[in-house]
């Protein structure tokens, strides 16, 4: 509970000076706008967040709940719903636009979903381990294997097929497969929850005391994949050029030199 003067956690590091256990709550509450799943669509809410201050460097920070990811306007449940639906094997023909349209009014843009899939895929592949996006993926899997399910490591290495219509490059294919593996693993670990990936994130944060599945939403890797050209062609009427009308007098032959 956020009480003035109480420590945020004895194992929490300051994001600025990296001091351990130096973050303490202040009496202030700061509003943080975010988008949450709601009835019939996505709802915008102003969530009051407690503020903390480092006793070493005196920097102030907002303390985010598990549902709100750092530097993201959409909450983890929204991101999980969109990405898990698109990457699921049973939704092999669904497009980016159809995926977000299913979420109702105020749904995210298809380009946002494309960026989430790219960033989460790169994170699950371990390509963001050195970019301060959280602990290495190997450490997350090893901790979950040791504490939750012993067969998790072998399941993580299984391949997850993705519909060929959803990618046109090997890089995009690998990242979509990694996303499918990520959400399938979360469902295996927390099958009774509505948002397994978010539940896994909360469990990992209680062990590592930092954001576990952090990711960039805009990686310069692959452009939005478009469907191939349709087999049917639209017939157009042939163009007929009308002869131009003569505006001046009749044309005479070449003039003789003076």
Q: In this predicted model, what pLDDT tens digit does every residue of 73-128 receive, in sequence order? A: 999 999 999 999 999 878 788 999 999 999 999 999 999 999 999 999 999 999 99
Q: In this predicted model, what pLDDT tens digit does every residue of 18-39 receive, in sequence order? A: 999 999 999 999 999 999 999 9
Q: In this predicted model, what pLDDT tens digit does every residue of 127-178 receive, in sequence order? A: 998 888 899 999 999 999 999 998 898 899 888 888 888 988 999 999 999 9
| 3-class DSSP assignment, residue 120 | helix
Q: Which residues fall within 8 angstroms of residue 105, CB to CB, at 6 or more apart?
A: 40, 41, 42
**Alpha helical stretches, state H, 148-257:** 152-156, 170-189, 196-208
Q: What percent of the chain has pLDDT over 90?
A: 66
Average of per-residue pLDDT values in the chain: 87
Cα separation, 50 vs 60, in Å, equals: 11
Query: What is this structure's pTM?
Result: 0.83
Q: 17, 3, 10, 20: which is closest to 60 by C-alpha?
A: 17
Cα separation, 120 vs 107, in Å, equals: 19
At residue 243 the predicted structure's pLDDT band, cuts being 50, 70 and 90, is low
At residue 229 the predicted structure's pLDDT band, cuts being 50, 70 and 90, is very low
In this structure, the chain runs to a length of 258
């Amino acid at each position: 509970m956020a009480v003035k003067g109480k420590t945020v956690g004895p194992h929490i590091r300051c994001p600025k000076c990296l001091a351990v256990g130096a973050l303490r709550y202040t009496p202030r509450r700061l509003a943080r706008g975010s988008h949450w799943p709601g009835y019939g669509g996505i709802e915008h809410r102003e969530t009051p967040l407690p503020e903390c201050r480092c006793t070493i460097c005196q920097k102030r920070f907002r303390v985010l709940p598990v549902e709100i990811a750092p530097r993201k306007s959409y909450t983890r449940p929204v991101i999980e719903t969109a990405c898990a639906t698109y990457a699921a094997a049973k939704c092999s023909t669904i497009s980016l636009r159809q995926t977000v349209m299913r979420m109702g009014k105020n749904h995210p843009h298809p380009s946002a979903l494309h960026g989430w899939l790219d960033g989460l895929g790169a994170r699950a592949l371990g390509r963001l381990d050195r970019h301060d996006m959280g602990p290495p993926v190997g450490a997350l899997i090893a901790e979950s294997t040791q504490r939750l399910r012993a067969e998790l490591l072998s399941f993580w290495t299984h391949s997850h097929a993705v519909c060929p219509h959803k990618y046109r490059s090997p890089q995009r294919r690998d990242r979509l497969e990694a996303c499918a593996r990520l959400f399938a693993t979360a469902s295996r670990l927390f099958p009774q929850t509505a948002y397994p990936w978010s539940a896994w994130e909360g469990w990992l944060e209680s062990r590592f005391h930092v954001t576990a599945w952090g990711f960039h939403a805009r990686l310069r890797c692959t452009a939005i994949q478009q469907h191939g050209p349709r087999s049917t062609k639209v017939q157009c009427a042939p163009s007929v050029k009308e002869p131009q009308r003569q505006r001046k007098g009749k044309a005479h032959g070449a003039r003789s030199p003076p």
